[in-house]
Every structure is written in C-alpha cells, then in structure tokens.
Structure 1
C-alpha cells in the first residue's frame, strides 16, 4: 500500500541490514491545498486529512480560487480542487494554472459525468474523485499523484524549462519574466528540483552542483 511509504513529516526511507536501518533517502511530507466553496465539505476534508493522513500537510484551506492563488503558501505540491467554484473560471484554466505553478491537481465534484471527468483529466488533473466517494478516496488520490512524481526520475514540463534557463545563466527573476511566472514560483520549482536530487541521494549544495546533476541526467547540455 502507498500509505506504508510515508512517515509523519520528514522521514528516512531505508532498508534493514541485520538490526540496523540503512538510510537511503529523505522523504518529505506532501503539502496540500484544499479549495471548495462549500465550507462544510472544506472543513470536513481538512480535518479528516489532518487527523488521518500524517504524511499530508494541509497548508491551504480556502473557499475560492483567488484565495488559493493569493495565499502565501501557494503553490503546494497538490491542490484538491472543487470542480465548481463561485468564480467563473473554467476548470481547464484552473488546472493548467496550478500545473504551471508546480502544483498537481486532484479534482473533486458533486457532478459525476464522463464529460466532466474527461475535461478535468484532459486539462492535466491527476485524478477526478466524485464527492459521493469516501474521504479516503481523496487521500489516496493525493498520495498517488504525489508519489507518481516524487518517486519518478522526471520533472514536470515547467520545472524542466526553468532548469534549462537556469543552466543557461538566467537568474530566477529573468526566468520569471520570460515565462510569465512570479519570482516565488520560480524559486519553488528550483527548490523542488533540489529536493528531488536530495531524496535520491544526490544533493545539490550550489548552482554548479544542480547543473552538474541535471547534465548527468541529460536534462541540460
């Protein structure tokens, strides 16, 4: 089960050799945002995650889209997003905006049609969870989305583009201006790339280390 891979917060993953655990990598908790304009659902899911999923750190719990993107903790690792919010912004725009900022998306909806599921997934959402499902289904979807990226050897497109521009000598400010991203979003992407290398036992203590690791993986020339 995926849950067995996770610890309370930052944890050490390793293998057992005799009576000793040999640490292999550090796995940090997944930072989660929940946005739903039904406060009962919002409060219930927030409390459930905080009480039953120690590996998921709910850092944002808000009722609207603009509250989400304006929150100081944005962008988190995964956004659990209600399909229908009060703001008249399409699910496609919201999902792609989160992905551009470095956040994966799990869409939840009280409307359970194939068309809405396909629209959400086609926009790039990692999962579509009907609200008729138990809370555990949302937790599992978040864990699955996070582990699929965290455990892989690849980065999302936005991270790759930022990494390549960074290796070309652009500063985070210049990268943000070129890609239409805020300075904070660029810094978050670079931090997550460093986290990835640290978790795989290949830490990057400087810009040169980071570029060297990326070159070793064929991500930059």
Structure 2
C-alpha cells in the first residue's frame, strides 16, 4: 500500500484545528502528523516533521500564514513543503500574496469537507488547486505589480512548442483546451507541461502562470 499523505494543520483556533484534523485523519490515504496555532510554530514543526503538505491559515499570531508559507515554500527554500492555504477571508489580496509566497492552493474554510480533502490530495500530488482561469484572472489583476524575476531559469531553455504551451497555461487553458488548440493529445500536453516545470524549476501550474506574467510572456 502507498504511504498516507502526511499533513500538518496550522490554525490559531483550536476548534477549527481539531475539526480539520478529525476530517483528515478519518481518510485512509491521509494522516495528520501535527497541529499548531501560529505561523512560527508551523515553520518549526514542519521543519522537524517534514509533512507532505501544510494546511495553513492566513491570520495567526506571532507569524502570519503568508510569511510562514514563504519560509516553507518560497523561492530558494531548501526542501520546500507544499502549502494549502485555507482561510475565512475571500480577498484577492490574500490569494495573490499566498501564491506569491509559494502556496500551491487556496480554499475557504466554509468549503465542504470533501473539497478540503480533495484539495489536500490535489496539492500533495503536485498539482495546483486553483482552476487555471481563476489563477489567470487573479495574477492578471496584479500583473502590473509583478517585477520580472531574475533568479529563475530563463525561458530560452524552452523549445518553441513548450513556450507556446506555457503561454496557453498562463492564458487559463486546461490540458484539454491546449490539446484542442494545438491539435495534439492530452498526454502530449501533460508531457510538455512536465518538461516546462522541470526546465524552469517550477512546482506546479500556479507557479507557471506567475512565471509567465513576471517574464512578460503574457499581458
């Protein structure tokens, strides 16, 4: 059997932490390895326990969830941890900052339990939780604030077709839509996406969208 996904739950409200932990631990493929009530503790516990994913609140004492996410999953972090941000605040600014900090997904606390569980599985599998079109709208809205990155591999490492796929990802296209546009199979699209992420040292599609906007590949 495959080992369960190891989850660290971080929220400053004990009732919510317990509720999340209970829901997650009830799943045979998921395991809660720890709980904490502030961002600083989240960083320390995550570094000690090496969970597969951290379920992170935004507003917490000592250190907020955005900064904790940056320390765990941000650019340049050695052995980064995947972070799923779960918060009561449905504000674009929080979503944007969470993604810029390195989060792989964003959910609201009032989402049904099934959506939380699916979100954890999605992020743990290395995919982005946000739909591509949502990510595009979000990053596009803040594109003017994103300065070109100089600390990441250059897009010249990509072939013309890979660059074309990257632009379509940033344009909010799903794999099936990219396949239809380029008249190729979805499996081929998946191969291109994998190569793009590897060559540019990106974790998932969310980072690919942010990268494309930062590099000015899309407007």
Partner of 1:50: 25
**Cα distance change on mapping 1:64 and 1:147 into 2, 3 Å:** same
Equivalent of 1:136 in 114, 123, 131: 114
Equivalent of 1:70 in 37, 40, 44: 44
- Whose Rg is larger? 1
Runs ≥4 in structure 1, deviation > 3 angstroms? none
Equivalent of 2:83 in 83, 95, 105: 105
Partner of 1:84: 59
**Kept after mapping to 2: 8 A contact 1:95/1:123:** yes
Q: CA deviation at 1:73?
A: 4.4
**Kept after mapping to 2: 8 A contact 1:60/1:73:** no
Q: CA deviation at 1:34?
A: 0.3
**Cα distance change on mapping 1:106 and 1:113 into 2, 3 Å:** same
- Structure 1: stretches of 5+ with no match in the other structure: 1-10, 12-26, 150-216
Equivalent of 1:33 in 2, 5, 8: 8
**Kept after mapping to 2: 8 A contact 1:29/1:57:** yes
Question: What's the C-alpha RMSD, in Å, of the aligned pairs?
Answer: 2.2
More strand by share: 1
Partner of 1:59: 33
In structure 2, distance between residues paired with 1:135 and 1:98? 25
Q: CA deviation at 1:90?
A: 6.1
Q: CA deviation at 1:67?
A: 2.5
SS at match of 2:69: helix
Equivalent of 2:123 in 141, 145, 157: 145
Partner of 1:121: 99
Partner of 1:157: none
- Structure 2: stretches of 5+ with no match in the other structure: 128-197, 200-219
**Cα distance change on mapping 1:66 and 1:122 into 2, 3 Å:** closer
**Kept after mapping to 2: 8 A contact 1:59/1:73:** no
Q: CA deviation at 1:42?
A: 0.4
**Cα distance change on mapping 1:89 and 1:47 into 2, 3 Å:** closer
